[in-house]
């Protein structure tokens, strides 16, 4: 029988706490978007952008936010699986059968924590003396890649939004300055038309920059949330496994 003091490193998380936090952020974003729509700010931004780059940025932002929702739900389930293992391991020693982790003869549902713990126990049981010290590190790296590997693409998308905004800025300035080359005289009517066309180009430049900055910031907040959750999951799993193996070895169980 193995008893561990988990309170030193493990604090239970609310059930699906990460996904609930993402829902709060998504709700605030949705509320802000509704207010902007009600004040006709979004309509003006979209209609003033002839290049439709702002609309493209918005669509990419929505897709990225949905990806964050999927990742937050996935990591919430992985956190639940880890906490289940920690609760069971308090009173029951784990065993390995065909590469799967068992507690009391029953297999647990597949999870990142279960795979890491099973691999660590199997390596210790096979040859603790001959196992290279980097084995545990390799297992942790594999788990970290599975936990947050997809987030790298999300960060790339978040960075691309501001680049699209800057692209819109350049295009807007081109549209603003292009009519100057066609100006033949400083006739009042031509100057008025020139100013009108320059205003359209300036609107494109400013609107795309604003949309890109806002969407990049909001999407970055979401990916920062899931990144921190992934890091916490890996850290808790590694710490728990080290404590479990140390306590297991001290009791002489195999």
Q: Which residue has the tokens 């292009």?
A: 178
In a domain, residue 109? The reply is no
In a domain, residue 117? The reply is no
Using one digit for the tens of pLDDT, what is the confidence trace for 70-104? Answer: 999 999 999 988 888 887 776 666 666 666 667 66
Q: Which domain holds residue 30?
A: 18-89+149-243
In a domain, residue 214? The reply is yes
Q: Which residue has the tokens 């290279």?
A: 132
Q: How confident is the model at residue 228 (pLDDT cuts 50, 70, 90)?
A: very high
111 secondary structure, DSSP code? -
What is the rounded CA–CA span in Å between residue 78 and residue 195? 58
In a domain, residue 61? The reply is yes
Between the CA of residue 237 and those of 30, 114, 121, 183, what are the distances in Å? 34, 9, 13, 69
Count Cβ atoms within 10 A of the Cβ of residue 187 and give its class: 0-12 exposed, 13-18 middle, 19 or more buried: exposed
- Identify the H or E element spanning 188: helix 188-251
Using one digit for the tens of pLDDT, what is the confidence trace for 176-223? Answer: 776 666 655 566 666 666 666 677 777 788 888 889 999 999 999 999
In a domain, residue 177? The reply is yes
In a domain, residue 104? The reply is no
Strand order in the sheet with 106-107: 94-97, 100-103, 106-107
pLDDT of 121:
75
pLDDT of 7:
45
- Note the Cα 14 to chain centre separation in Å: 19
Max Cα separation, the chain?
96
Q: Which residue has the tokens 């939004």?
A: 161
In a domain, residue 80? The reply is yes
In a domain, residue 8? The reply is no
What is the rounded CA–CA span in Å between residue 213 and residue 68? 18
142 SS3 class: helix
- What is the total count of domains within the chain? 1
Residues 6+ apart with CB under 8 A from 214: none
Question: Between these two residues, 147 and 123, which has the higher pLDDT value?
Answer: 147
Residues 6+ apart with CB under 8 A from 148: 226, 227, 230, 231
Contact present, 139 and 120 (Cβ < 8 Å) = yes
CA trace torsion 115, 120, 125, 130 (10° rounding): 140
Of 38, 251, 249, 3, nearest to 128 by C-alpha is 249
> What string of H, E and C letters represents the secondary structure of 127-157?
HCCCCCCHHHHHHHHHHHHHHHCCHHHHHHH
Using one digit for the tens of pLDDT, what is the confidence trace for 35-49? Answer: 988 988 888 887 777
Is the pLDDT at 248 greater than 60? The verdict is: no
């Amino acid at each position: 029988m193995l008893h561990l003091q988990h309170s030193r490193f493990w604090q239970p998380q609310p059930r699906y706490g990460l996904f609930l936090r993402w829902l709060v952020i998504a709700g605030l974003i949705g509320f802000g978007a509704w207010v902007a729509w009600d004040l006709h700010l979004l309509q003006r931004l979209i209609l003033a952008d002839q290049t439709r780059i702002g609309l493209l940025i918005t669509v990419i932002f929505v897709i990225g936010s949905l990806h964050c929702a999927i990742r937050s739900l996935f990591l919430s389930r992985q956190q639940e699986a880890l906490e289940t293992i920690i609760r069971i391991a308090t009173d029951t020693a784990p065993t390995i059968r065909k590469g799967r982790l068992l507690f009391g003869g029953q297999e647990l549902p597949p999870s990142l924590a279960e795979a890491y713990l099973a691999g660590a126990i199997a390596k210790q049981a096979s040859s603790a003396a001959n196992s290279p010290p980097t084995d545990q590190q390799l297992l942790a790296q594999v788990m970290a890649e599975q936990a947050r590997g997809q987030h790298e693409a999300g960060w790339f998308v978040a960075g691309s939004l501001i680049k699209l905004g800057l692209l819109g800025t350049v295009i807007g300035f081109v549209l603003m300055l292009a009519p100057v080359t066609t100006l033949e005289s400083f006739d009042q009517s031509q100057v008025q038309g020139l100013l009108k066309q320059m205003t359209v180009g300036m609107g494109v430049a400013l609107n795309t920059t604003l949309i890109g900055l806002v969407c990049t910031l909001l999407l970055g907040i979401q990916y920062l949330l899931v990144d921190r959750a992934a890091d916490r999951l890996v850290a808790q799993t590694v710490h728990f496994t080290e404590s479990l193996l140390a306590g297991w070895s001290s009791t002489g169980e195999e």
